[in-house]
Amino acid sequence: MPLIDGESTGSYVTRLAIRHGESVGHLLATVGEGKTAAEIDPRLSELYLNAAARQRLAALAGRSLAQLTRALVSLREEHLLPGRPETAEYQWPWRPPSGYLVRGCALCAARRGVFETVWLIRPDPWHICVRHGRFHDTSRDDRVPFLDLSPGPHVVQAEQRRIQLVKRLGPVGRLLVADAFAVLAHPDSFLPRLGTNRTTPLRLLPTAIHIAHRMAQLERFRLDSRLVHSDYPHWLEKARGDLGWRVGRALEWWSALHKPLQLPPLPRSRVARVPVKDYRRPASPHRSPVSEMAPLHALSCLQWDILARDWRHPYG
Nearest residue to Zn ion, by Cβ distance, number only: 105
Q: Read off φ and ψ for residue 107, nearest 5 degrees.
A: -70, -40
User: Which of 57, 105, 178, 202 forms a contact with Zn ion (CB under 5 A)?
Assistant: 105
Q: Which is nearer to Zn ion, 128 or 239 (CB)?
A: 128
Instruction: Report, in Å, the least distance between residue 120 CB and Zn ion.
Output: 11
Residue 163: which residues within 8 A CB-CB, separation 6 or more? Answer: 130
Q: Name the segment binding Zn ion (CB under 5 A); options: 38-46, 103-111, 116-124, 195-203.
A: 103-111
Instruction: Report, in Å, the least distance between residue 216 CB and Zn ion.
Output: 27
Q: End-to-end CA distance of the chain, in Å? A: 31
Instruction: Report, in Å, the least distance between residue 134 CB and Zn ion.
Output: 6
Work out the burial of residue 312: count CB atoms within 10 Å of its CB; fewer than 13 is exposed, 13-18 middle, 19 or more buried: exposed
**107 is a site residue for Zn ion (CB under 5 A):** yes
Q: Which is nearer to Zn ion, 131 or 313 (CB)?
A: 131
Which residues in the 126-155 window bind Zn ion by CB under 5 A?
129, 131-132
**108 is a site residue for Zn ion (CB under 5 A):** yes
Task: Tell me the C-alpha distance between 34 and 40, whole Å.
Answer: 12
Q: Which is nearer to Zn ion, 129 or 172 (CB)?
A: 129
Q: Read off φ and ψ for residue 207, nearest 5 degrees.
A: -70, -40
**118 is a site residue for Zn ion (CB under 5 A):** no
Task: Tell me the C-alpha distance between 129 and 156, whole Å.
Answer: 8
Instruction: Report, in Å, the least distance between residue 143 CB and Zn ion.
Output: 19
Task: Tell me the C-alpha distance between 278 and 289, whole Å.
Answer: 14
Instruction: Report, in Å, the least distance between residue 145 CB and Zn ion.
Output: 12
Residue 266: which residues within 8 A CB-CB, separation 6 or more? Answer: 274
Please report, as ranges, the residues that interact with Zn ion according to CB under 5 A. 105, 107-108, 129, 131-132
